[in-house]
Chains A and B, each alone.
Chain A
Amino acid sequence: MSAAKSTGVYLCSGCGIGEAVTMGELEKVVTKEFKKPVKSHACLCGDEGLAVIKADIEAGTVNQVVVGACSPRTMTDRFRFPATQVLRSNLREQVAWSHPAGDEDTRMMAEDNLRMSLTEAAKSTLPEPKIDGEYSSVVMVVGGGTAGLTAAHEAAQAGHEVLLVERAAKLGGNAANWSKRMPHRPPYRAIQGNDIDTLIATVTADSRVKVKTGCTVAKTSGMPGKFAVEFSDGSGATVGAIVVATGWRPYDPTKLGHLGYGVSPDVVTNVQMEGMLSGGKVARKSDGKAPGVVAFVQCAGSRDPDHLPYCSSVCCGVSIKQALQLREADPKVMTYIIYEELRTPGVAEEFYRAAQEAGVIFMKGKVKSVDKALTVVVDDALLQQEVPLAGVDLVVLATGMVPNSTNIDAPTPELDEEKLRVLHNDVNPLSPIKVAGYAGEAPAPLPAPPDTLPEGAPILNLQYRQGPHLPMLADGFADSHYICFPYETRRTGIYTCGPVRRPMDMGETAEDATGAVMKAIQAIRNAGQGVALHPRAGDLSYPMINLNQCTKCRRCTVECPFGAIDENEASYPQVNETRCRRCGTCMGACPVRTISFANYSVDMLGSMIKAVNIPDEFDEKPRILILACENDAYPALDMAGISRQQYSAFVRIIPVRCLGSVSLLLISDALSVGFDGVMLMGCKPGDDYQCHFVKGSGISRERLSKVGETLKSMQLESARVTQVEASIADSARLPKLIDAFVAELDGFGPNPFKGF
Chain B
Amino acid sequence: MTDQKPRSQTILVVGGGISGVTTALEAAEAGYEVVILEKAPTLGGRVAQLNRYFPKLCHPTCGLEINFQRIRKNPRVKVFTMATVAGVKGGRGDYTVTVKTTPRHVRPNCTACGDCAKACETRVPNPFDYNMGETTAAYLPHEMAFPMRYVVAPQVIGTPDADKIKASCKYDAIDLDEKEATFELGVGAIVWATGWQPYDANRISPYRYAHIKDVINNVEMERLASHNGPTHGRILRPSDGKEPKKVALIQCAGSRDYNHLAYCSRICCLASMKHAAYVREQYADATVDIYYIDIRAHDKLEAFYRKLKVDPQVTFIKSKPAEIKIGPDGGPVVCGENTLTRELYQTPYDLVVLATGMQPASAVDRPAMEVGMDDYGFVVPALDDDGVFAAGVASGPIDVSMSVQSATAAALKAIQAVSGAAR
**A→B interface (CB under 8 Å):** 14-16, 42-43, 45-47, 70, 73-77, 80, 154, 157-159, 185-188, 303, 309-313, 341-350, 381-382, 384, 431-441, 443-444, 446, 474-475, 477, 481-487, 502-504, 508, 511-512, 514-515, 517-519, 521-522, 525-526, 533-535, 537-538, 631-632, 635, 639, 642-644, 683-684, 688, 690, 692, 727-733
Task: Tell me whether B422 is interfacial, beta carbon within 8 Å.
Answer: yes
Q: A159 touching B421 by the CB < 8 A rule?
A: yes
With known contacts A484-B63, A639-B144, A439–B281 Cβ distance under 8 A: yes
List chain B residues, Cβ under 8 A from A511: 405-406, 409
List chain B residues, Cβ under 8 A from A343: 294, 296, 298
* Closest chain A CB from B350 CB (angstroms): 17
List chain B residues, Cβ under 8 A from A481: 56
* Closest chain A CB from B348 CB (angstroms): 22
Task: Tell me whether B242 is interfacial, beta carbon within 8 Å.
Answer: no
With known contacts A309-B302, A344-B264, A538-B29, A433–B408 Cβ distance under 8 A: no
* Closest chain A CB from B14 CB (angstroms): 19
* Closest chain A CB from B205 CB (angstroms): 23
Which among A73, A436, A484, A731 has the highest number of chain B CB atoms within 10 Å?
A484
* Closest chain B CB from A404 CB (angstroms): 16
What are 29 A-B pairs at a CB distance below 8 A? Answer: A46-B109, A47-B109, A310-B303, A341-B297, A342-B294, A346-B396, A346-B397, A347-B374, A347-B396, A381-B318, A431-B300, A433-B55, A435-B277, A435-B311, A439-B282, A474-B300, A474-B303, A511-B406, A518-B412, A519-B408, A521-B412, A525-B30, A526-B30, A537-B73, A632-B62, A643-B228, A728-B59, A731-B227, A732-B233
- Complex alpha-carbon distance, A384 and B341, angstroms: 8
Q: A486 touching B405 by the CB < 8 A rule?
A: yes
Question: Which residues of B (373-423) have their CB < 8 Å from a CB of A?
Answer: 374-376, 378, 380, 396-398, 400-402, 404-409, 411-413, 415-416, 419, 421-422
* Closest chain A CB from B274 CB (angstroms): 9
Q: B73 touching A538 by the CB < 8 A rule?
A: yes
- Complex alpha-carbon distance, A692 and B109, angstroms: 32
Q: A341 touching B300 by the CB < 8 A rule?
A: no
List chain A residues, Cβ under 8 A from B304: 433, 435
Q: A349 touching B404 by the CB < 8 A rule?
A: no
List chain A residues, Cβ under 8 A from B227: 729-733
Q: B170 touching A349 by the CB < 8 A rule?
A: no
Q: A515 touching B59 by the CB < 8 A rule?
A: no
Task: Tell me whether B246 is interfacial, beta carbon within 8 Å.
Answer: no
With known contacts A310-B302, A384-B341, A728-B61, A518–B311 Cβ distance under 8 A: no
Q: B62 touching A727 by the CB < 8 A rule?
A: yes
Q: B284 touching A346 by the CB < 8 A rule?
A: no
Q: Which of A349, A350, A502 has a CB less than 8 Å from the CB of B299?
A: A502
List chain A residues, Cβ under 8 A from B396: 346-347
Q: Which of A157, A347, A684, A692 has a CB less than 8 Å from the CB of B416?
A: A157
Q: B401 touching A347 by the CB < 8 A rule?
A: no
10 other contacts beyond A435-B308, A515-B408, A635-B65, with CB at 8 A cut-off? A42-B170, A73-B69, A311-B299, A433-B307, A508-B405, A514-B413, A515-B412, A534-B66, A537-B29, A733-B227
Q: Which of B73, B281, B419 has a CB less than 8 Å from the CB of A76?
A: B73
- Complex alpha-carbon distance, A484 and B277, angstroms: 21
In the complex formed, the residue of A with least CB distance to B415 is: A158
Q: B56 touching A486 by the CB < 8 A rule?
A: no
Q: B69 touching A439 by the CB < 8 A rule?
A: no
Q: B299 touching A14 by the CB < 8 A rule?
A: no
- Complex alpha-carbon distance, A311 and B266, angstroms: 14
Size of interface on B: residues with Cβ below 8 Å to A: 103
With known contacts A43-B111, A70-B111, A684-B58, A446–B170 Cβ distance under 8 A: no
List chain B residues, Cβ under 8 A from A382: 339-340
With known contacts A444-B310, A727-B62, A303–B302 Cβ distance under 8 A: yes
Q: A311 touching B297 by the CB < 8 A rule?
A: yes
- Complex alpha-carbon distance, A683 and B62, angstroms: 10
With known contacts A384-B340, A484-B66, A436–B57 Cβ distance under 8 A: yes
Q: Which of B65, B265, B300, B407 has a CB less than 8 Å from the CB of A728?
A: B65
Task: Tell me whether B124 is interfacial, beta carbon within 8 Å.
Answer: no
* Closest chain B CB from A97 CB (angstroms): 9
Q: B406 touching A486 by the CB < 8 A rule?
A: no
List chain A residues, Cβ under 8 A from B57: 435-436
* Closest chain B CB from A657 CB (angstroms): 12
- Complex alpha-carbon distance, A313 and B396, angstroms: 17
List chain A residues, Cβ under 8 A from B109: 45-47
Q: B398 touching A346 by the CB < 8 A rule?
A: yes
In the complex formed, the residue of A with least CB distance to B63 is: A484
Q: A484 touching B62 by the CB < 8 A rule?
A: yes
List chain A residues, Cβ under 8 A from B233: 732
Q: B298 touching A311 by the CB < 8 A rule?
A: yes
* Closest chain B CB from A93 CB (angstroms): 10
- Complex alpha-carbon distance, A153 and B373, angstroms: 25
* Closest chain B CB from A40 CB (angstroms): 15
In the complex formed, the residue of B with least CB distance to A521 is: B30
Q: Which of A345, A440, A514, A521 has a CB less than 8 Å from the CB of B280?
A: A440
List chain B residues, Cβ under 8 A from A731: 143, 227-228
Q: B280 touching A518 by the CB < 8 A rule?
A: no
* Closest chain A CB from B128 CB (angstroms): 13
List chain B residues, Cβ under 8 A from A77: 72, 75
Task: Tell me whether B67 is interfacial, beta carbon within 8 Å.
Answer: yes
List chain B residues, Cβ under 8 A from A446: 306-307, 310
Question: Which residues of B (119-165) have their CB < 8 Å from a CB of A?
Answer: 140, 143-144, 148
Q: A76 touching B72 by the CB < 8 A rule?
A: yes
Q: A350 touching B263 by the CB < 8 A rule?
A: yes
- Complex alpha-carbon distance, A480 and B411, angstroms: 19
- Complex alpha-carbon distance, A313 and B297, angstroms: 9
* Closest chain B CB from A677 CB (angstroms): 26
List chain B residues, Cβ under 8 A from A341: 294-297
List chain A residues, Cβ under 8 A from B281: 436-439
Task: Tell me whether B171 is interfacial, beta carbon within 8 Å.
Answer: yes
List chain B residues, Cβ under 8 A from A46: 109, 171
Task: Tell me whether B232 is interfacial, beta carbon within 8 Å.
Answer: yes
With known contacts A525-B31, A643-B143, A485–B380 Cβ distance under 8 A: no
Question: Would you list the 6 A-B pairs with minimal beta carbon distance, nearest first?
Answer: A440-B284, A484-B63, A515-B408, A514-B409, A186-B374, A76-B72
List chain B residues, Cβ under 8 A from A435: 57, 277, 280, 304, 307-308, 311
List chain A residues, Cβ under 8 A from B75: 77, 80
Task: Tell me whether B262 is interfacial, beta carbon within 8 Å.
Answer: yes
Q: A158 touching B380 by the CB < 8 A rule?
A: no
Which among A46, A344, A433 has the highest number of chain B CB atoms within 10 Å?
A433
Task: Tell me whether B322 is interfacial, beta carbon within 8 Å.
Answer: no
Q: B401 touching A483 by the CB < 8 A rule?
A: yes
* Closest chain A CB from B312 CB (angstroms): 7
* Closest chain B CB from A576 CB (angstroms): 20
Q: A483 touching B53 by the CB < 8 A rule?
A: yes
List chain A residues, Cβ under 8 A from B416: 154, 157-158
Q: A486 touching B340 by the CB < 8 A rule?
A: no
- Complex alpha-carbon distance, A517 and B421, angstroms: 15
Task: Tell me whether B60 is interfacial, beta carbon within 8 Å.
Answer: yes
List chain B residues, Cβ under 8 A from A684: 58
- Complex alpha-carbon distance, A74 and B58, angstroms: 24
- Complex alpha-carbon distance, A508 and B341, angstroms: 37
Which among B29, B295, B398, B411 has the highest number of chain A CB atoms within 10 Å?
B29
* Closest chain A CB from B92 CB (angstroms): 13
With known contacts A349-B256, A443-B312, A525-B31, A484–B18 Cβ distance under 8 A: yes
List chain A residues, Cβ under 8 A from B170: 14, 42-43
List chain A residues, Cβ under 8 A from B25: 537
In the complex formed, the residue of A with least CB distance to B27 is: A518
Question: Which residues of B (55-99) have their CB < 8 Å from a CB of A?
Answer: 55-67, 69-70, 72-75
List chain B residues, Cβ under 8 A from A384: 340-341
List chain A residues, Cβ under 8 A from B415: 158, 518, 521
Q: A347 touching B303 by the CB < 8 A rule?
A: no
List chain B residues, Cβ under 8 A from A514: 408-409, 412-413
